[in-house]
């Protein structure tokens, strides 16, 4: 069954006075022809992998073979624990966790693609941090993850969740929209507020280029996970404060598809444009080639 609109889910949630996560658990159980208990069990396994990737990611101290990443999550987390911070402790923590997972992914650690490996830090970091702030139960976390799933499914069906097809808006942008919806669900927000948070978030990522330096999922990908995780928390708070997206979620996704189709291939994961084509970006590529770290180009 193709899930290409949030509307039937919003209508069901309103009619039955249920949250988005609850509606999605019922949906997944029906699609998989199993019980709600089974799909919840499956999501708990996924959450365990996500938590482990956060724990491992924030421990990384070694730089990657390219020299472009490694150890940044640990630095940001340390900053959240001492001294003054301009953005606030929760923003630092969510950024550190998202960057940690992305660093872990780059070092071949096991992550959950959500929706992709390059954007795998955002959903776990936001869910973990939102749950920590709200002192949420595991049940609420799992519902949050199911809510995020609806956002990912609609983006995938109506547009894309691939950087090579629609640029980074379709990867990090979608992951942040998924995370914003999950954060609202975790705070006890309504289905409408969750989808509205996703719309606010996705609008702010439209047009984002995919321009990985030297073809590696490190620059700009890893830090972008941290930045977008912070934005996802803000999108959730904006929605919960009553701010409404003037463009409904489904239409934002259509806009993302439209923009993705207009994007030149140079900024669709080919590393032929954007940051990959800067003087420093090209220097990284040459250095990696000559060191043998990156032979195939």
Q: Looking at residue 63, what DSSP letter applies?
A: P
* Cβ proximity of 151 and 181 under 8 Å: yes
As measured in angstroms, the least distance from the Cβ of 174 to ligand SF4 is: 10
As measured in angstroms, the least distance from the Cβ of 271 to ligand SF4 is: 9
**Interacting residues with ligand SF4 between 164 and 183 (CB under 6 A):** 168, 171-172
SS3 22: helix
Residue at shortest CB range from ligand SF4: 163
The torsion angles phi and psi of 210, rounded to 5 degrees, stand at -105, 105
Q: Pick the closer one to ligand SF4 by CB: 124 or 212.
A: 212
231 touching ligand SF4, by CB under 6 A: no
Rounded CA separation 286/297 (Å): 10
Q: How many residues bind ligand SF4 (CB under 6 A)?
A: 12
As measured in angstroms, the least distance from the Cβ of 82 to ligand SF4 is: 30
The torsion angles phi and psi of 136, rounded to 5 degrees, stand at -75, 155
Q: Given the rule CB under 6 A, which of 35-43, 82-90, 163-171, 188-196 is the region that contacts ligand SF4?
A: 163-171
* Cβ proximity of 131 and 182 under 8 Å: no
217 touching ligand SF4, by CB under 6 A: yes
125 touching ligand SF4, by CB under 6 A: no
* Cβ proximity of 185 and 143 under 8 Å: yes
212 touching ligand SF4, by CB under 6 A: yes
Rounded CA separation 148/197 (Å): 11
Q: Pick the closer one to ligand SF4 by CB: 20 or 98.
A: 98
* Cβ proximity of 131 and 140 under 8 Å: yes
Binds ligand SF4 by CB under 6 A, chosen from 163, 189, 260, 281: 163
SS3 26: helix
Rounded CA separation 216/271 (Å): 9
The alpha carbon of 225 is separated from its chain's Cα centroid by a whole number of angstroms, namely 7
149 touching ligand SF4, by CB under 6 A: no
23 touching ligand SF4, by CB under 6 A: no
119 touching ligand SF4, by CB under 6 A: yes
267 touching ligand SF4, by CB under 6 A: no
Interface ranges with ligand SF4 (CB under 6 A): 118-119, 163, 168, 171-172, 210, 212, 217, 220-221, 269
């Amino acid at each position: 069954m193709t899930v290409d609109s949030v509307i039937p889910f919003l209508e069901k949630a309103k009619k039955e006075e249920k949250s988005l996560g609850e509606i999605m658990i019922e949906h997944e159980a029906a699609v998989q022809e199993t019980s709600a208990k089974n799909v919840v069990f499956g999501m708990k396994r996924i959450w365990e992998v996500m938590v482990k990737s956060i724990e491992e990611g924030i421990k990384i101290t070694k730089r990657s073979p390219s020299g472009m990443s490694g150890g940044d999550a640990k630095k940001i987390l340390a900053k959240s624990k001492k001294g003054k911070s301009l953005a606030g402790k929760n923003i630092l923590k969510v950024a550190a966790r998202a960057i940690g997972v992305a660093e872990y992914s780059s070092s071949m650690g096991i992550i959950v693609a959500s929706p992709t490996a390059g954007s795998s830090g955002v959903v776990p970091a936001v869910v973990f941090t939102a749950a920590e702030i709200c002192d949420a139960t595991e049940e609420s976390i799992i519902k949050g993850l199911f809510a995020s799933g609806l956002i990912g499914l609609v983006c995938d069906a109506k547009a894309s969740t691939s950087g090579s097809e629609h640029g980074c808006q379709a990867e990090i942008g979608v992951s942040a929209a998924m995370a914003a919806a999950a954060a609202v669900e975790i705070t006890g927000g309504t289905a409408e507020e969750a989808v509205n948070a996703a719309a606010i978030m996705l609008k702010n990522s439209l047009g984002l280029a995919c321009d990985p330096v030297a073809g590696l999922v490190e620059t700009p990908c890893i830090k972008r996970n941290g930045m977008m995780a912070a934005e996802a928390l803000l999108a959730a708070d904006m929605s919960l404060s009553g701010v409404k997206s003037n463009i409904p979620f489904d239409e934002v996704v259509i806009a993302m598809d439209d923009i993705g189709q207009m994007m030149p291939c140079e900024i669709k994961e080919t590393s032929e444009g954007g940051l990959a084509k800067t003087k420093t970006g090209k220097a990284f590529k040459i250095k990696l080639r000559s060191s043998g770290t990156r032979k195939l180009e």
